[in-house]
Amino acid sequence: MTLIKSISGIRGTIGGKSGDTLSPYDVVKFAAAYGTWLKQQSDNKKVIIGRDARQSGEVISQIVISTLRSLGLNVVNLGLSTTPTVELAVMHEGAAGGIILTASHNPGNWNALKLLNSKGEFVSAEASKEILTLSESNDIEFVASQNIGKLTHMDYIDKHIEMILAMPIVNVEAIRQKNFRVIVDAVNSTGGIAVPRLLKALGVAEVEELYCDPNGAFPHNPEPLPENLTAISSKIESGNYHLGIVVDPDVDRLALICEDGTPFGEEYTLVSVADYVLRKEKGNTVSNLSSTRALRDITEKAGAEYFASAVGEVNVVEVMKAQNAVIGGEGNGGVIYPALHYGRDALIGIALFLSNLAEFEGSTSRLRLTYPNYTISKNKIELTPDIDVDGILAKIQEKYKDQPINTVDGVKIEFEKEWVHLRKSNTEPIIRIYSEADSPATSEYLANKIISDIKEIIAFKAEE
């Protein structure tokens, strides 16, 4: 069983000993620390809470709400909601912060507390460290009974959808005219509430719901990767649909299936949406270092500039703000459209993609063919704890010093339009190796070449 405390929040498996799993005791400690941190930032007592549909969510939500109220904070409970919906609610309701109870793409026996600041964005690494320190301290003070915070309830999903439809860039009329037939796999979480509502509001003619009952019983691995999406792919292949839409449990990642049942490619969700946005708005783009080069290609073709960030939504958002990006995100299907808010949002991603498809004279698969075609290979090499991982990355950097190298997050080496990105794990002695090329064989070759280099470095060190 697992409990992970990090700058991205606290997450873990449900059931087991406190300190080893995400137990009620650990939830209280962390929620109390976050609430105390909020009180240190301002006198604003409003906090937004929302959760995905996983089966432990209701109990954990009750614990979090009671803890925050015991600190004197007023809680607005959105109930079953989505990560981007909670983010928007924090922004528009003038809250001090918010907590999303979701373990994102992790299996159903996991849950987590994701923490937001007053802008509806994930708290910074520095703030996360302060909260973690508070959770282990004795400096948390609860209020007297007469000062316990209030609890109110609100459904914000419809407001989220209204905001999306109000975006001038969303071409509702073109979508209506296409009479799209769409099937949705929401892995029995809150996307089953939000996505069909959005599609109907956009004027999609037919919406078939697959795994859209928000009961938290995930019918397959909830990470929206092709190997987990065989059911929807089979239905599309044997049916008559224009598009398949898949979201993860908290609806911040978007995967698409073409009309023939083939994956559009999670890396290409952002590419297609960015292509559409860049035709309508002038500005730059951002994705993380491990995302496809295709975004850079279409950005430069549009006469704009592409920027890469360290891996992680917080890092992407930071660079987007610095570079005035009009669109950005991550290659895992995470779309960030800052005109709405600075957060990965599958719902605005759906609206923008459908606008693009509606204006395109052809099928989803033909749209995919209009983009540069790259293949990313994902590998890792496991090391013993005594090995100096930073030293290995330094040696690789030295070996390839004649190539363009980015060291913002690990080491990324570029070879014309091909690249290899090496990142060390923060929790175990592993180097993750992502490589991209215009063919699977070349991508694998690049990864294996770097793996071979690493093994040579280790062997040389052992001989010294």
Catalytic machinery residues: 104
Rama region for 72: left / alpha / beta (φ>0; ψ in -120 to 50; rest): left
Q: Residues 34, 92: contact at Cβ < 8 Å?
A: no
Instruction: Convert 149-174 to b/e letters by CB count within 10 Å (16 or more is b).
Output: beeeeeebbeebbebbeebebbbbeb
Q: Is 135 exposed, middle or buried (0-12, 13-18, 19+ CB in 10 A)?
A: buried
Please list the residues that pair with 110 across neighbouring strands: 13
Taking only Cα atoms into account, the Rg of the chain, rounded to an integer number of angstroms, comes to: 22
Please list the residues that pair with 411 across neighbouring strands: 422
Which two structure tokens, joined as six digits, stand for 295?
Answer: 């975004």
Q: Residues 10, 1: contact at Cβ < 8 Å?
A: no
* Distance of alpha carbon 232 from alpha carbon 211, whole angstroms: 10
Rounded to an integer, what is the distance from CA 145 to the centroid of its chain?
39
* Distance of alpha carbon 366 from alpha carbon 73, whole angstroms: 52
Q: Residues 274, 302: contact at Cβ < 8 Å?
A: no
Q: Residues 222, 187: contact at Cβ < 8 Å?
A: yes
Alpha helices in 291-383 (DSSP H): 294-301, 313-322, 346-359, 364-368
Helix, strand, or coil (residue 303): coil
* Distance of alpha carbon 362 from alpha carbon 365, whole angstroms: 8
Strand order in the sheet with 284-288: 306-309, 284-288, 325-330, 334-336
Q: Is 458 exposed, middle or buried (0-12, 13-18, 19+ CB in 10 A)?
A: middle
* 49 C-beta neighbours (distance < 10 Å), count: 24
* Distance of alpha carbon 50 from alpha carbon 376, whole angstroms: 34
First and final CA of the chain: distance in angstroms? 39
